[in-house]
Amino acid sequence: MKFFADTAEIAEIRDLAATGLLDGVTTNPSLVHKSGRNFLEVVREIADLVEGPVSAEVVAIDYDEMMREADVLRAIGDNITIKVPLTPDGLKACKALTEGGTMVNVTLCFSAAQALLAAKAGATFISPFVGRHDDVGFDGMALIADIRLIYDNYDFATQILVASVRHPMHVVEAAKIGADVMTAPPKIIHQLFKHPLTDAGIASFLKDWEATGQKI
């Protein structure tokens, strides 16, 4: 499974990139707003820092304006992935961009039927929002399983990018189902390191080592 960081904070991205765990980055208008910085500047910095795909979202809702914004964004770098909404105009843009050699991330997916449409439109990535799905009483992981089954049935190349990840078990369950990618806030990725027995083991080893009086 590929790990993408869902953030617009450059320091967090740089820190994760240093671990070798980071395969890409996803951003959206809300994350950039939270950073308080210029959108294009942030995307450019991220694209320079990360070798893998960097999803940058259009804010237009009509096809022509989506394509105009996509031209601005993809000029930033070859690793820019254009993120479009799962709407008729969004899928029309997805088809045109894909045919032009641009990676496309179709976002705000909440059903297997929507995911099927995105795959037929040639999406590079489909982003089902598991956390938001759970919030309204549905099973986000069941959605991932349904999409995996449908994509495997027809050998679609579209990668399942699990989004709206709320906790480490979302990551583990998605990996068990066979999702291709997950994107999560850096704090969630760091939580994957945590286990009380690991912490206890380190503390025990350090105590015993200190008792030897030795140095390396």
Mean pLDDT value across residues 113-136: 97
Which residue range(s) make up the domain with 201?
2-212
Between CA 90 and CA 103 the distance in angstroms is 14
The number of distinct structural domains making up the chain is 1
**176/63 Cα distance (integer angstroms):** 36
pLDDT of residue 34: 85
Catalytic residues: 83
Residue 2 is inside which H or E element, if any? strand 2-6
CATH classification of the domain holding 162: 3.20.20.70
- On whether the pTM is more than 0.85, the answer is yes
Q: Give the chain's mean pLDDT.
A: 96
- Is 90 exceeded by the pLDDT of residue 28? no
Q: Please tell me the distance from the alpha carbon of residue 194 to that of residue 206, in angstroms, as a whole number.
A: 18
Mean pLDDT, residues 116-131 taken together: 98
